[in-house]
Amino acid sequence: MRTPLPPTLLSAAALGLAIGAAEVALRASPLQGLAAPDVGLWLVVSIVLAVGVALAAGVVAWAVNFRVAGLWVGALLGLWATVNYRFEVVLNEFVRDPRVWGGMSLIFFAGLGLGLLVHPLLVRVERPLRWAAVAVALVSGGVAFARAQPTGGAPGERPSILVVSMDTTRHDRLGPYGGPARTPHLDRLAREGVVFEQAIANAPITEPSHLAMFTGIAPYQSGIISNGTNLGDRPALVWHALKGEGYVTGGFVSGFPLHGKYGWNQSMDVWDDDFGRFGGVQTLTLVKGWNQFAVKEHALRERPAHQVLARALPWLRANRHSEFFAFVHFYDPHGPYEAPANAELGPPPTDGPPLDLPPYWPAPARQITSADWLTRAYDKEIELVDDAIGQLLDALGPRLDNTIVVITADHGESLTEHDYFFDHGDDLYDPSLRIPLIVRWPAGVRAGVRVPCPTAGIDLAPTLLDLVGIQDGQARAGLSRAPELAGGECRNTPTVSSTVAGRMVEKPPISHSLRAPAEKLILYEDKGPEFFDLAADPGELQNLFPSPRGEQAKTALDGMIRSGGKVIAAENDAETQRALEALGYIE
């Protein structure tokens, strides 16, 4: 005869069921962009974890004959609330801080006290309460699916927009720019669109460069110089204007500097910055607690292209007949280069003295001795992203020709130039600043055109709005390149780029550069100016400062910097610093 499950364990399982489902209901949001199967999996994982912990508590209570139902139920709820408080409210404080140990103790014992108060009631109605817990779980499941339902778009005749950012991608490795990487999808876009031959990033760092692209405002003007900075309210973000005009907006990012916690998700219908393998799971209280103890640096900071595609492709297919704006960000070319573990490259050479690689690279990678092998590995990462871009184009189907497709990057990468090995962010030389920029749209872009004049990242936002005929009244320093896209005359404008090398201090030392078609000035905070004749010295090896042209450029750049905005300090919380250190933005 089968022994029935003890009442304590039945109650524990029911309570865990309710807690697991309720947590998903509370955390679900349309911004996550999760499809119904993803929400279902999230619910299953949450419930399994919650029931597991609840049953463990029930087993302990049963084993010690702990029949004061209210007490152990209060202890379980108190434990849940305590873990949530520790890893969400006071995550970045030391345990010795009274707000941490005091708050956790108060919450846990308050749970015990509540349990004792309700114990008489629980004893009398324990069985009905089990069914009530099951009912709570069912209702919570329905609420989770309803709250997670993403916003849909409306069909229209205006062109849609797809912007793909290839993180850490310099222009001269790509096929359209004569590079060695095999990029058939980029080659096709270049043949059918416009290639900007001198696209210049406004920062060699992810967050400020992307903000410049999507606002048309340079870092020295916006005050956003470092990764890990809260954007605040940014009405100039291009998707504010597009959403206001009826576009459905979605962003799918793969690196910590673009996380929604910094304000990137404002005015977005979907902002997918969940770097976990399963959607939503990383938001759960138990998972956050586990990450603090078991995951290096306590959290996921990036994800590969195939995980980005798993979220972006369904959204594109669902909205491709609507007027949409989509931003897709691929982090793969960023070091360390991990994708090309295949027979074509062979194992990385480790015989001889290791290269001076960035400290954030894992120890095995820092034993590599061949710069040539690493350069080929970098190219393989680019090829992987090219394949991902091909899948995005396929997902658009017949909508492709009425979609403005933009391929660009936030910054480049030094591949040993200036003795700077496979890194970026600390200098303003061209390997870190020259990026790809390719635009395809048959209705408004002349196929096969190559634009030779310098084009800044800040030109992207005004160009996109000009192409779709939207004027939002926001002040932008960037120049619309719609005339060049139509085959018009190339207009030369100087580009100011800035960097702080990711140093997280209130008044960071900032360097700036001023780039014209054939010359460039760099003003460093901690050393003298550098001025280069790019026509005669494209490698930026011979400093011509002081010189009359250099002095003129310095006067111009000094005036521009003085007229810029106040620099906004980066977030200084421990979680942000750890994540940025792990990605190489802080040494």
Per-residue pLDDT tens, the chain, 587 aa: give them.
344 455 567 777 888 898 899 999 999 999 998 988 999 999 999 999 988 887 777 676 666 555 555 556 666 677 777 777 766 676 666 667 777 777 777 877 776 676 666 656 555 556 777 788 889 999 999 999 999 988 777 788 899 999 999 999 999 999 999 999 999 999 999 999 999 999 999 999 999 999 999 999 999 999 898 888 889 899 999 999 999 999 999 999 999 899 998 999 999 999 999 988 888 988 888 887 777 666 655 456 889 999 999 999 999 999 999 999 999 999 999 989 886 555 578 888 888 889 888 888 888 888 999 999 999 999 999 999 999 999 999 999 999 999 999 999 999 999 999 998 989 888 999 999 999 999 999 999 999 999 999 999 999 999 999 999 999 989 999 999 999 999 888 998 889 999 986 555 566 788 999 998 899 999 987 788 999 999 999 999 999 999 999 899 888 888 888 877 666 655 545 554 454 454 444 44
Q: 332 and 476: one domain? A: yes
Query: Would you state the structure tokens that stand for residue 341, as one six-digit string?
Result: 């573990």
What span, in angstroms and rounded, lies between the C-alpha atoms of 25 and 43? 9
pLDDT at 227: 87
What span, in angstroms and rounded, lies between the C-alpha atoms of 118 and 18? 18
CB 284 within 8 A of CB 45: yes
Query: Would you state the structure tokens that stand for residue 169, as one six-digit string?
Result: 């991608």
What span, in angstroms and rounded, lies between the C-alpha atoms of 468 and 83? 48
Q: Is 517 buried (19+), middle (13-18) or exposed (0-12) by CB count in 10 A?
A: middle
pLDDT at 3: 44
pLDDT at 563: 76
pLDDT at 585: 42
Q: 121 and 171: one domain? A: no
> What ranges make up the beta strands (E) of 167-205?
194-200
Q: Return the C-alpha torsion angle 80, 83, 84, 90, nearest 10.
A: 150
Question: Of the candidates 94, 124, 148, which is a domain's last residue?
Answer: 148
Residues in the chain: 587
Structural domains counted in the chain: 2
Angle between helices 98-148 and 69-84 (to 10 degrees): 90
Question: Of the candidates 148, 179, 211, which is a domain's last residue?
Answer: 148
Question: Of the candidates 148, 183, 216, which is a domain's last residue?
Answer: 148
Strands 495-499 and 421-423: unpaired
CA distances from 26 to 20, 41, 83, 465 (A): 10, 16, 16, 36
User: pTM here?
Assistant: 0.87
pLDDT at 1: 36
What span, in angstroms and rounded, lies between the C-alpha atoms of 439 and 466? 14
- Give the domain extent around 105: 7-148
Q: 332 and 193: one domain? A: yes
Question: Does 15 map to a domain?
Answer: yes
> Three-class SS of residue 331?
coil
Q: 206 and 103: one domain? A: no
Q: 259 and 400: one domain? A: yes
What span, in angstroms and rounded, lies between the C-alpha atoms of 219 and 226? 9
